[in-house]
Amino acid sequence: MKGRHPQNIRRLIGNTSLRMVLILTSLIVVLPILWVIYTSFKTSAEFLNNPWALPSSLNWSNYANAISKANMGDYFMNSIGVTLGSLGLLFVLIVPAAYALSRFKFKFSKGITMLFMAGLFINCNYIVVPIFMILKDMGLLNNLFVLCIVYAATTMPFNIYLLTGFMQGIAKEYEEAAQIDGCGYWGTLFRVIIPMSKPGFVTIGVFAFMSYWNEYILALTVLKPDHYTLPVGLKNLMEVQKFATDWGAMFAGLVIVMMPTMVFYALVQKKLTSGLSLGGLKG
């Protein structure tokens, strides 16, 4: 009990220096983002004179330019459609698959699990060229729904892996109780497993949302301008910018791309935390 006092002091000093480190890190994180946001209100001339100064006035025309000149509005809608569509598909695919793999032992269960595990090493960017060739042969290029399928398919291994982990963590007793109540395979899935995996869904959903929203290599490869998603549209804007040097519109484009994910993240971050704490990541 006597040692208590100096320990508190040490703790106080420790906390203060920790706070300094944290505040410094926060600045490193936040300042660049703030810079993008306020730069999006500057005219090109202002930007070129001093890229770090604050804007003299709120120049909303940058946003008008980004939306009208570069079709960012349409691209925004495309991005929403692709992101939600891919998310929906992903869950339709992985929930039954993870259920079967996590709760049952059958002939090929080990083999199939291994097959999906192997997919953890395959990023869609490694295989974008052959994917493009396949879609070309099937005449399915420039199709947002097909892009959703490809997104869902290529992100499946990681998410099945995560979800299997979550589902394995659910105690057998719940399942048995459901079976006593007369639930069969599907009944157990929808009555017990799905409700109990909700935190896991949140985690998967959030990360999948971010990756679908921000993906651009595949989108660039298979889409044409009438169906571009935002990151590709932004890249397109940068290409135009190279010739027109409209820095203001480009930064407005950057903000249009990053805002939804930031807002979305701000909304779900609490649920995300609880989802992650389930230890679903245990190998």
Partner 1 sequence: MTNLKKYMPKKQQTRRNIAITVSLLPALALYALFVIYPTFNVFRTSMYQWSGLSKQKTFIGFENFIRLFNDTKFWTALQNTIFLLIFCTAITMILALFFAAALTQSKLKEKNFYRVLFFFPNVLSIVVIGVLFSNIYEPNMGILNSLLRGIGLNHLAQPWLGSGKTVLWAIGVAMIWQAVGYYMVMYMAGMDGISPELYEAADIDGASKFVQFFKITIPMIWGILRVTLVFFITSTLNMSFLFVNVMTDGAPNGSSEVLLTYMYRQAFTNANFGYAMAIAVIIFIVAFALAIISNILTKKNDA
Partner 2 sequence: MKRKLIAALMTTALMGSVFTGCAQGDVEPAPETGEQPVAEKPADEQKEEPATSEEKQTLDVAVFEGGYGRAYWDAVAEAFEKQNPNVDVVINANPEIGEIIRPDLLSGNAPDFIYLPTTNKSGVTNALIKDKLLADISDVFEDPAIKDKILPGFIDNVATSPYGDGKVYLAPLYYSTTGLFYNKTVFEQNGWEVPVTWDDFYALGDKAKEKGRALITYQGLAPGYMEAMLIPAMVASVGPENFEKALNYEDGAWEQEGIVKAMEQVAKMSTNNYLMEGTVALSHTQAQQQWLKGDALFIPCGSWLEGEMAESPREDGFEWGFTAPPVMNAEDTKYVFTTFEEMFIPADSDQIDLAKEFLKFQYSDEAVALNAEKAKGIPPVKGAAEQLKQYVSGATYETYKLFDQGYEPTIVRFASVQGTELDPRTELFNQVAPVVSGEMSAAEWAAYMENISDSVRDYVVK
Return the one option of partner 2, partner 1, none that residue 99 interacts with (CB less than 5 to 8 A, by type).
partner 1
Instruction: Kindly tell me which residue out of 80, 141, 153, 240 binds partner 1, with binding defined by CB under 8 A.
Output: 153
Q: Are 213 and 83 in contact (CB under 8 A)?
A: yes
The angle that helices 128-138 and 144-168 make with each other, rounded to 10 degrees, is 130
| Distance (Å, whole) CA 140 – CA 157 | 23
The angle that helices 198-214 and 144-168 make with each other, rounded to 10 degrees, is 150
Side chain identity at 46, as an amino acid letter? E
Q: How far is the CB of 228 from partner 1 (least distance, A)?
A: 13
- Write out the binding residues for partner 1, residues 27-86 only, by CB under 8 A: 28-30, 32-33, 35-36, 50-52
- Write out the binding residues for partner 1, residues 180-239 only, by CB under 8 A: 180, 182, 184-186, 210, 213-214, 216-217, 230-231, 234-235, 238
Among 203, 167, 160, 275, which residue's Cα sits nearest to residue 175? 167
- Write out the binding residues for partner 2, residues 13-52 only, by CB under 8 A: 44-45, 48-49
Cα–Cα distances in angstroms (integers) from residue 52 to residues 47, 91, 241, 245, in the given order: 8, 44, 19, 17
82 CB contacts (<8 Å, ≥6 apart)? 144, 147, 148, 151, 212, 219, 229
- The yes or no reply on residue 227 touching partner 2 (CB under 8 A) is yes
What stretch of H or E contains 6? Answer: helix 4-39
Return the one option of partner 1, partner 2, none that residue 234 interacts with (CB less than 5 to 8 A, by type).
partner 1
Q: Are 128 and 221 in contact (CB under 8 A)?
A: yes
- The yes or no reply on residue 104 touching partner 2 (CB under 8 A) is no
Instruction: Kindly tell me which residue out of 67, 101, 170, 178 binds partner 1, with binding defined by CB under 8 A.
Output: 101
The angle that helices 61-69 and 72-103 make with each other, rounded to 10 degrees, is 70
Return the one option of partner 2, partner 1, none that residue 242 interacts with (CB less than 5 to 8 A, by type).
partner 2
Return the one option of partner 1, partner 2, none that residue 240 interacts with (CB less than 5 to 8 A, by type).
partner 2
Which two tokens mark 126?
């490694």
Binding mask 121-160 for partner 2 (x = CB under 8 A): -----------x---x--xxxxxxxx-x------------
Among 217, 207, 264, 259, which residue's Cα sits nearest to residue 90? 207
- The yes or no reply on residue 92 touching partner 1 (CB under 8 A) is yes
Q: How far is the CB of 204 from partner 2 (least distance, A)?
A: 16
Q: Which stretches of the chain bind partner 2, using CB under 8 A?
A: 44-45, 48-49, 77-78, 80-81, 84-85, 88-89, 92-93, 96, 132, 136, 139-146, 148, 178, 181-188, 190-191, 220-221, 224-227, 236, 239-240, 242-243, 245
